[in-house]
Every structure is written in C-alpha cells, then in structure tokens.
Amino acid sequence: MAQLENRTGRRLVAGIPLFWLVLFFLIPFIIVLKISFSEVRLAMPPFAPLFQWVHGVPRPKLHFGNYGFLFTDPLYVTAYLYSIKVALVSTVCCLLIGYPMAYAIAHASPTWRNVLLMMIILPFWTSFLLRVYAWIGLLKNNGVINNVLMYLGLIHEPLPMLQSDFAVYIGIVYSYLPFMILPLYANLEKHDNTLLEAAADLGANPVTAFFRITLPQSVPGIIAGSLLVFIPAVGEYVVPSLLGRTDQLMIGRVLSDEFFENRDWPVASAVAILILLALVIPIMLFQRFQQRELEAQK
Amino acid sequence: MTSRGLFSRTALVFGLVFLYVPILSMIVFSFNNSRLVTVWDAAHSPTLKWYGELLSNGQIVGAAWLSIRIALVSATGAVTLGTLTGVALARFGPFRGRTLLSGMTTAPIVMPEVITGLSLLLMFVALEQLIGWPKGSGALTITLSHITFCMAYVTVVVQSRLVGFDESLEEAAMDLGARPATVFFRVTLPLIVPAILSGWLLAFTLSWDDLVITQFVAGPGSSTLPMVIFSKVRLGVSPDVNALATIMVMIVTLGITISAVWMRYQNRRRERDEQLAAAANL
C-alpha cells in the first residue's frame, strides 16, 4: 500500500514539472526549428505551413531560403561574428577582474567574507536594466566621467565613450561580474592551504606557488564562471541597445528586429537556431559541470 | 602581508568601486534639480521633485502594479514547480526522464533571453491556433513564461540545499512508519524552508526585472515596469528614472539587511538549542 502510494507520489512529483518544461521549454524550441524552415507570407501567423496535404498524406515542404539568406547577406554574418567577439572579450575581462576579487574574498576573515559576498550579490538584486542605464549617465559626452576628467584638466574635449565597443564591454562586464565571481569564490574557498605551505617550505615563491597550485585547482571555477558570462552575453540585447554602436548590431538585436520590425518570423527563427548552434557545446559543458558540482557536494 | 594578498585586495577594492559607482551616481542625481541629469544644479538641490513626479506618473505606477502582481504569482508558481523538481532530482535516484528533466532545468539559466522569448511566443501562437487558448498575449502569457524561466533558479537552490543534507532523517521517519507524504511535509519541507524562501525572493526579483522575454510575450495591451523604463531611457536619461532606481536600491538593501540579521538570529538560536540538547543528554 505505502509502496503503491510511494510510486504514484513520485510519478506526480517528477511528472508535473517534467510536463511543464516539455510544454513550455522543449516544444517551443521544436516550433522555432519548424518555423525556421517555413516560408514567410503576409498573414497571421506570418508563415506558411510546413506540411502540405497531398492526397490525404502530409508532405513536408522544407524551405531552406531563410538560412541561405542569412549566409549571403553580410549584415547577419558580421553581426554573428561581432557578437561572439564581444562575448569573448567580455568574458576574458570578467575573468581578469573577477579572479583577484574572488581570491581576496576567499582569503578574508569569515565575518568579512559574508559582508563582501553580500556586497557582490547586492547589485545583482537591483534592476539589471537600471544598472545598465546608469552607465549612460556616466559615459555620455556631458556625463559624469567626462565632467570629472575635464574638471581635473586631463582632457579639454569630452571623450566620446557612449555608443562604442568600449561602452558595450563596460556594460556587459558590469552586469555579469557577479556571475563570474560567485563560482570562482565557491571554488577558491575550498582550497587546501597545506599544499601552499608545503610549496613554500620547499622553497617556491608565492607567484610560482600560485601558478603551479592555486590556478590549476581553480580551473573548474574558471570554466563555470566563463560559461555563465559567455553564453548569455552572445545573445545580449539590453546592453548593446542602450550603450552600443548604432552601425554594428549584435545578433540578439538582429533577431528582435527581424521579429518586431520586419515581422519576418521564419528569419527570426533561423537566427535563433544559428545562435543556438554556436552555444550548444558551451551549454552542454555547463550542464555537465552543474551536475558534477551537485554530485561533489554529497 | 604577501604581495599576492596586497594585489588581490587592491583589485577587490577597485572592483567594488566599479560595482557601486553607477548605483551611487543614480542615487545622487535623483536629488538633482536640473533636468540635465548629469549637471549638478547646486542652487536648487537637493530636491525631492523627481520623486513627486515619479509617483504622479500614472503610466509608471500602473506598470509597477502590474509587475508586482505578475511577480507575486510567478514567484509562487516557480517555487512550487522548482521545489518539486529539486526534490525529484536530489532524492529520487535514477528514474526515467531524469536526464531530460535535469537538462531542461539548467539550460534556461544560461539560454539567451531573446531565444527563450521568441520560442515561448511562437508556442503560445501555435497553442492558440490549436486549442484557442491562451487568447492573445497579456498578463497570462507573461506569467506562464516567467514561471518557466524562474523555476530553474529555484530548482538549483532547492536541489543544492537537499544534496547538502544526508537522507538519514527521512529514512528514520520512513522506518518509524511515516508515509511518504508525511515525511515530505514533516521532515523534508522544514529542512529546505530557507532554500524555498530565498528561491521565492530570487524568482520574484527575476520576474520583476525581466525585460526581454516579457517584450516578446506581452502583447500590445500590457506593459510591465521594465518595458516602460526601457522605452523611456531609449530616448535618453530622465531624472525620474533615477528616483525610481533609488527607491528600488533602498528596498533591496533593506530586505537583504533584514534577512541577514534574521538568519544570524536563527543560527544563534539553533546553536543555543543544540547546546541545551547536548547538556540535557549528559
């Protein structure tokens, strides 16, 4: 009896979220994939059906034009490559800034550690949109940074910083820095200091000890943090829209424009599929890492 | 102190300055009289006039109210589904569909939002064609989407809390004859309450804050607060947005401080109880 109740209960507990995610996460992707092979038309919904009924048998009519279009128009190719470049540079910057910060937190006293961690997390709880918006006020031609530099006499003309690659890097690094620091901290905090002491006893200087012991041990944290920054940054929409160049769009913006401005749902879907293709390996790496982390806690 | 310690501490200080200068600048300029957001009008500042303007802006207040209602429902739905998922992944061992379930909970966390938004909207359109539900886009489709992307975060929080506990308490209750549902409500649930609470807060914040997914599934009638802010700041900086940011930072700081104090209090009480229990056993 209890055995039976147990089994139905388990089926329900696992089955309800599984059903929900299949309906609202998996099926939507299949629909995107399907529409990316459809032909655009002026109707609602604005695409032709994929299957045509020929003598009572559904026959698929695959249309590869959307993908062909994306590869022939340089606008899409450059936006695609530009997004990957921006995401890569931002990830490296996050790592270079975040690693020493995580290291310092992991080596602080326990009380300080909690305070510092809270200070890293706090901006994350305030609106992402507003934090990006704040940089407009700082980077503008008559913004805070230019005013301070001119007041100090370091420059005489305002530096044009807004609507540049630089502004996009700042915006992405600023928004995603906590995602880099937290996994790095979680990793660095677990390190065993006896290894470093042994290295010091054997005559290694601190720099050598860092590169030969600490850094190799923190590789899992580096990978997790980098994936958490890189994957969403490729499709980033808000930061480039508010701070970025107007002559070079990122791929997330291209997708959104195809959908909202051109109302070309099939091309927007094809763009989504191509972004996913670039991210499929990083996403799978991230999943494997997550699972391993949870297993290790046991 | 070693040179390495000095370097990393300097980096930490500069990093924190980098994290907080933009937020502080919004707070400072929210009290500035000038409409030119970044020019300080010393003669007439500080002033609260932008706060007044913000609160009398019907569009913003209405959008904020809609966002709060959506976030309340979404966070609650996400916590329910996320807790079920976390329990299934942490406690059920291998079962059919486990890989699929765990894959579908980690993927939404890193998935670029434009893709999630587009795919959800296309699914809603297809569903409406097929069964006539949901009728058009609006608060309902926004809420369903928010539940979906927020539950992944709740799952991770709950799952890692459960993995941190060993199963002996639950097994003991089972051995004493408690039914599975009783074990869950009397043993498992109290253990993971902190995780559920922080999961709920996280889901609320994510839903309240989301712009990109919401833009796809919102439809013409319903504008959430991030949508209104976005269309406002695209036209340039505006001082009442600074006032709004200040209010939100204040609320978050207050909330985090209260929860930190409460957690310390709980920890102290638990330690005291444990000491008493240990003393009683002697």
Class of the domain covering B57-236: mainly alpha
Q: Which residue has the higher pLDDT, A206 or B77?
A: B77
- 8 Å CB contact of A97 and B229: no
pLDDT at B1: 46
pLDDT at B6: 83
Q: Please give the structure tokens belonging to residue B43.
A: 């003669």
pLDDT at A62: 76
Burial of B70 (0-12, 13-18, 19+ CB in 10 A): buried
Distance from CA of B271 to the nearest CA of A (A): 17
C-alpha closest to that of A93 among B11, B212, B25: B11
pLDDT at A253: 92
pLDDT at A298: 58
Probe site for chain B from A11, A120, A144 (most B CB atoms < 10 A): A144
| Percent of chain A residues topping a pLDDT of 70 | 93
- 8 Å CB contact of A119 and B19: yes
Candidates A26, A116, A134; nearest CB to B22: A134
Instruction: Tell me which chain B residues have a C-beta less than 8 angstroms from the C-beta of A232.
Output: 110-113
pLDDT at B118: 95
DSSP letter string, B108-175: HHHS-HHHHHHHHHHHHHHHHHHH--S-SSSHHHHHHHHHHHHHHHHHHHHHHHHHHS-THHHHHHHH
pLDDT at B38: 62
Q: Evaluate if residue A171 carries a pLDDT over 90.
A: yes
Candidates B3, B108, B256; nearest CB to A118: B256
Instruction: Tell me which chain B residues have a C-beta less than 8 angstroms from the C-beta of A7.
Output: none
pLDDT in tens, chain B (282 residues): 455 678 888 999 999 999 999 999 889 888 887 776 566 777 777 888 889 888 888 899 999 999 999 999 999 999 999 999 999 998 888 888 888 898 888 888 888 999 999 999 999 998 988 888 888 788 999 999 999 999 999 998 999 888 877 788 888 888 888 888 888 888 888 888 888 998 999 999 999 999 999 999 998 778 999 999 998 888 776 788 889 999 999 998 898 888 878 878 888 888 888 888 888 776
Angle at B120 between CA A123 and CA B97, to 5 degrees: 95
Distance from CA of A72 to the nearest CA of B (A): 22
pLDDT at A231: 93
- 8 Å CB contact of B4 and A294: no
Residue B174 · residue B183 · CB < 8 Å? yes
In this structure, how many other beta carbons lie within 10 angstroms of the beta carbon of residue B190? Answer: 10
Block residue for tokens 């062909």: A68
- 8 Å CB contact of A256 and B18: no
Section A233-247 average pLDDT: 92
Candidates A32, A228, A282; nearest CB to B122: A32
Residue A239 · residue A283 · CB < 8 Å? no
- 8 Å CB contact of A22 and B104: yes
Section A241-264 average pLDDT: 91
Instruction: Tell me which chain B residues have a C-beta less than 8 angstroms from the C-beta of A84.
Output: none
Candidates B22, B119, B209; nearest CB to A128: B209
Does the N-terminal peptide bond of residue A45 adopt cis geometry, omega within 30 degrees of 0?
yes
pLDDT at A51: 67
For chain A, give every domain's residue range: 70-297
Q: Which residue has the higher pLDDT, B69 or A68?
A: B69
Give the predicted TM-score (pTM) of the model. 0.89
Instruction: Tell me which chain A residues have a C-beta less than 8 angstroms from the C-beta of B242.
Output: 137
Candidates A28, A238, A287; nearest CB to B123: A28
pLDDT at A92: 97
Confirm whether the ipTM is greater than 0.85: yes
pLDDT confidence tier of residue A1, bands split at 50, 70 and 90: very low
Range name among A106-115, A177-186, B29-38, B159-168 with the lowest pLDDT average: B29-38
- 8 Å CB contact of A123 and B19: yes
Q: What is the CATH code for A70-297?
A: 1.10.3720.10
Which residue is closest to A243 within chain B, CA to CA?
B234
pLDDT confidence tier of residue A20, bands split at 50, 70 and 90: very high
